Amino acid sequence: MNVEKKEKTSDPLEENSSQSRYMNDDEDVKPFSPWKDAFKQLRRNRFAVAGFIIIVFFILLGIFAPLLTPYPYDNVNLADRLVAPSSEYWLGTDDAGRDILTRIAYGARISLMVGFFAVTGALVFGTLLGVIAGYYGRWIDMLISRIFDILLAFPSILLAIAIVAIIGPSLENALIAIAIINIPIFGRLVRSRVISLREEEYIMAARAQGMKNGRILIHHILPNSVAPIIVQSTLSFGTAILEAAALGFLGLGAEPPDPEWGAMLAEARGFIQLAPWTLIAPGVSIMLVVLGFNLIGDGLRDALDPKMKN
């Protein structure tokens, strides 16, 4: 069967999906080909696809924000305060007469950026610390794990508030705070993964071949830890956006007139009865983005977990 497939795919232009692994002319073109299976699995998961569409929608919204609307996001127009959704203002205007659709679109930029950088920061430092703790063990593991425990002992939003309170309220600081509170989540995940991988026979076999620790870590342990890290990143993306919104709502994140969704909610709070659209738009946006990331995350978890394969 393999031979057949190989002949079929002798023309590289015709190769598609899993058959490519039977090509042998340049044997390491796709060192991550097992991912293709996962991708296929993911495409079959309708919820994950829905999540993906939601996120792509918000990404496009953010990218093309200036093209979508004729208004700048901070254009105060007191003549049109709290206008209900209409053909002129699709999502209405807020108490300063700013177009809410415009602010949602620019806010998508902020939220996605915050999510991206906070998750990246947490991922880099969390993975680094987790790998060190898991692979080297002993006192260094004790030290790092206890720091994680302490960080996790605080309610995360409270810790973020404390961090922002110390370093001062701004979007960047909110981002740093969110990254910090997410470090132990990645750290613990990677640590436990490394500890279980360390006992794998192929790691022992790699050591028996005379491989150095660093090489084993980078070439064998990290690549084998990527799947759970990706899943956690996606899920954390949603949480990070939610946390950013919460900080913005509390006035500890983005500062006016930045159209941060959480801050928009806080500003609109007083008009809940008079102009509910001012709350609904940012609220629904936050909900949709977080939901989108969670759907992708769950889909990825199923797709990347070999035990879930049928």
Partner 1 sequence: MPETILELNELHTHFFTDNGEIPAVDGVSLSVNKGEVVGIVGESGCGKSVTSLSIMQLIPQPPGKIVSGEINFKGENLANSSNKRMKQIRGNEISMIFQEPMTSLDPLFTIGNQLREAIQLHNKMSKKEASDRALDMLEMVGIPRPKEVLSEYPHQLSGGMRQRVMIAMAMSCDPEILIADEPTTALDVTIQAQILDLMKKLNQEKDTAIMLITHDLGVVAEICDRVVVMYSGQVVEEGTTREILKDPKHPYSQGLIKSLPKIHEREQKLYSIPGTVPKPKMGVKGCRFAQRCPMAFERCFQEDPELYPLENNRRSRCFLYDDAKREVTENANADIRS
* Residues binding partner 1 (CB under 8 A): 2-3, 6, 21-24, 27-28, 31-34, 138, 200-202, 204-212, 219-220, 223-224
CB of 104 to partner 1, least distance (A): 41
Contact present, 266 and 283 (Cβ < 8 Å): no
Q: How far is the CB of 283 from partner 1 (least distance, A)?
A: 42
d(CA 224, CA 206): 14
Q: In terms of CB distance, is 1 or 78 closer to partner 1?
A: 1
Which two structure tokens, joined as six digits, stand for 177? 């705070």
Distance of CA 119 to the CA centre of its chain: 6
Q: Which is nearer to partner 1, 81 or 207 (CB)?
A: 207
CA angle at 102 for the pair 100 and 104, rounded to the nearest 5°? 65
CB of 202 to partner 1, least distance (A): 5
Choose between 26 and 273: whose C-beta lies nearer to partner 1. Answer: 26
Which letter does DSSP use for residue 32 in this model? T
Would you say 66 or 223 has its CB closer to partner 1?
Answer: 223
Closer to partner 1 at the Cβ: 6 or 81? Answer: 6
Task: Please tell me the distance from the alpha carbon of residue 179 to that of residue 166, in angstroms, as a whole number.
Answer: 15
The one-letter amino acid code at 18 reads S
Find all residues with CB under 8 Å of 167, minimum gap 6, and list them: 173, 176, 177
CB of 4 to partner 1, least distance (A): 12
User: Least distance (Å) from partner 1 to the CB of residue 27?
Assistant: 4
Residue 20 or 294 having the CB closest to partner 1: 20
Please state the closest distance from residue 300 (CB atom) to partner 1, in A: 17
Within 37-174, strands assigned E span none
What values do phi and psi take at 37, rounded to 5?
-55, -45
Would you say 34 or 270 has its CB closer to partner 1?
Answer: 34
11-23 burial, b at 16+ Cβ within 10 Å, e below that, comes to eeeebeeeeebbb
Residues near 278 by beta carbon (within 8 Å), at least 6 away in sequence: 82, 92, 94, 95, 100, 264, 267, 268, 271
